Amino acid sequence: MTYAIDLWTAPALPIAGTSELFPVRRVFCVGRNYVEHQKEMGGDGREQPFFFIKSAHALVPQGGSVHYPPKTANYHYETEMVVAIARRGRRIAARNANEHIFGYAVGLDMTRRDLQQIGKDKGRPWDFGKDFDEAAPCGALAPAARIGHPAKGAIWLTVNGKERQRADLADMIWSVPEQIEYLSQYYTLEPGDLIFSGTPAGVGPVNPGDQLHAGIDGVGELKVTIAPPL
Ligand code: MN
C-alpha cells in the first residue's frame, strides 16, 4: 500500500554529541509546577500541578527563528526542562522512573497567553493558547547516560541580554519522577514521548526581533529569535 499524500517525516530532536535523532511521539506539558509561577498566574501557590498536551509537530528543533504567531497580542515564553522517554511503561513508580528516561533538553513552552486566558475564563480547552505552529522550540537532548538525572541546578532565560527567569530545578512541586508516576497512571508512556516539566516564575511577552537565550546548568542551552508573523 502507498500513501495518498506524501508521508511527513517524524518530528525529531538532535542528540547532543552524536549524529543521531530522537523521534518524538507526543509532547506532554505540566502546568503550574513551580510555586512562584503559580502565584504570578494568580494562584495561591498551593495548587496541584496538572497536564496538557502539545502536538509533536509544534516542535522547533534547536530553536533558531520562530515566527510571532497569529491571533495573539500577548505571546509569552516559558523556559522548561524537557524530559525524553525511551522505554514504555504504565503505572510507573517514581523510584523506577529514571529507568524510562533517555535524556533532557532545554525547551520553551511558547504560549498565546490571551487565548489561554479565554480558555480559562470560559472553561474551554487550552489548545489554541498552547498548541500552535512553532509553539515548542527545543534544544538538543543530552543523554542521561552522560549527564545523569538533573534534580537541581539553575534554569534561566534572558531576553535581549536581560535576565527574565532564574530558578532552580529543585523548586519543582512535582519532581520529574513524580511527574512520570502521575502521568503514567493516565497514559501508557511510549518511547519518543516528551514531558515539558513546567516553567519557573518570570514569564512575559516577546515581540518580533527579540532574542531569547535559555539554559539549564548541565543540560544545555537554546537560542530563539522571534521573527515577524507569516
Ligand atoms: Mn509551561
Ligand 1 (ion): which residues have CB within 5 A? 78, 109, 199
CB 176 within 8 A of CB 151: yes
CA of 58 from ligand 1 middle (Å) equals: 14
DSSP 199-219: --S--EE--TT-EEEEEETTT
Domains delineated in the chain: 12-227 (3.90.850.10)
Give the confidence band of 38 by pLDDT, cuts at 50, 70, 90. very high
Residue with cell 552524536: 18
pLDDT per residue over 77-86, tens digit each?
999 999 999 9
CA of 147 from ligand 1 middle (Å) equals: 23
pLDDT at 144: 98
CB 144 within 8 A of CB 103: yes
- The pTM (predicted TM-score) of the whole model is 0.98
pLDDT at 48: 93
- Provide the 3-class DSSP secondary structure of residue 154: strand
CA of 196 from ligand 1 middle (Å) equals: 7
CB 195 within 8 A of CB 31: no
CA of 197 from ligand 1 middle (Å) equals: 7
Q: Which residues contact 54 (CB under 8 A, 6 or more apart)?
A: 27, 29, 109, 130, 131, 135, 136, 196
